[in-house]
Amino acid sequence: MSAQTDTPGSVTAVYKVTGMSCGHCEGSVSSEISELPGVSSVKAVASTGEVTVVSATPLDEESVRAAVDEAGFELTGKA
């Protein structure tokens, strides 16, 4: 598991997402995940397929998967 606590009250998790190829893709994925409750920041990187999410509490992976799916991409799991 690659979740770690960065600051008190926040959890960082890195997910692998397939299909991102440009900045627009990164923006779409970031926008959808940002709407999840408790999310404070999202950084998607198309070149690595990694999406780093900082949230108040650990996120339900199925919720993240649904958000990524809504953006048109596929969550393959945690990095």
For residue 2, being part of any structural domain is answered with: no
- Provide the token pair at 30: 């970031």
Tens digit of each residue's pLDDT (9 = 90 or more) over 44-72: 999 999 999 999 999 999 999 999 999 99
CATH number, domain of 27, equals 3.30.70.100
What is the Cα–Cα distance from 49 to 16, expressed in whole angstroms?
A: 6
The domain of 55 spans: 11-78
For residue 29, being part of any structural domain is answered with: yes
For residue 5, being part of any structural domain is answered with: no
Asked if residue 1 has pLDDT above 60, the reply is no
Count of domains in the chain? 1
For residue 4, being part of any structural domain is answered with: no
User: DSSP character for 8?
Assistant: T
For residue 38, being part of any structural domain is answered with: yes
For residue 22, being part of any structural domain is answered with: yes
pTM of the model: 0.88
In the three-class reduction of DSSP (H, G, I as helix; E, B as strand; rest coil), residue 64 is classed as helix
